[in-house]
Amino acid sequence: MAELSAWFDHTFASQQFMAILRGFPADRTVELATRAWSLGLDCVEVPIQTPEAVASLRAAVAAGRERGRRVGAGTVTTVEQVAVAKASGAAFTVAPGLDLEVAHASVGCGLPHLPGVATATEIQEATRHGLRWLKAFPASVYGPSWFSAMSGPFPEVHFVATGGITAHNAADYLTAGVRVVAVGSALADEAQLELLANLLASPPMPSASSRASDPLGERSS
């Protein structure tokens, strides 16, 4: 699975934000995805926990194809959902937790997988199987300090913070050393759009302490 981590290396090489569009009908999903792309968020995830959500994923994939953008499937918790994501044209899969059967199924059909973790044990297990890009959910419950702490023993891991991230607190997580933050509500909130655009134009750098925990200097600035 290690080789497919390179897909995230490439995708997030110059990106510190991604969009998660959960629970929207297909037309609204396409509208918000288009807004994300216009702001410069190239990576869009559409969770597929319901049949209606699968229709939204397919609509976003079609819209992305017209614009040369790739869309991933989120909340992929079963092998069967991996097959649905593949059939729907998803470019990658995301899960709320660490399920190695799901991860292997996804990678096996050519879809890079971003699993969720919440503990040091899960992080260690994920890295043992070559998964270096890991999602932490819900990030707002852990807080920025959790990411700074986990970067100490796991400097090779690139964290994606999701859940409760807004344009108002995204900078705190990036400063703590998070590689990518995922926003959703900010795209649907007109009051946050200008702040989000400013963050995209000039993202904050990791703090000195978080850079020190990354001895290879691989974190993006």
Catalytic residues: 45, 135
Burial of 149 (0-12, 13-18, 19+ CB in 10 A): middle
Which residues, listed in sequence order, are joined to residue 100 by a DSSP beta bridge?
none
Burial of 191 (0-12, 13-18, 19+ CB in 10 A): exposed
Dihedral, CA of residue 166, residue 204, residue 29 and residue 9, to nearest 10:
-130
**List of residues 6+ apart from 198 with CB closer than 8 A:** none
How many CA atoms, within 13 angstroms, populate the side-chain half-sphere of residue 74? 23
- Are the C-beta atoms of 80 and 60 separated by less than 8 Å? no
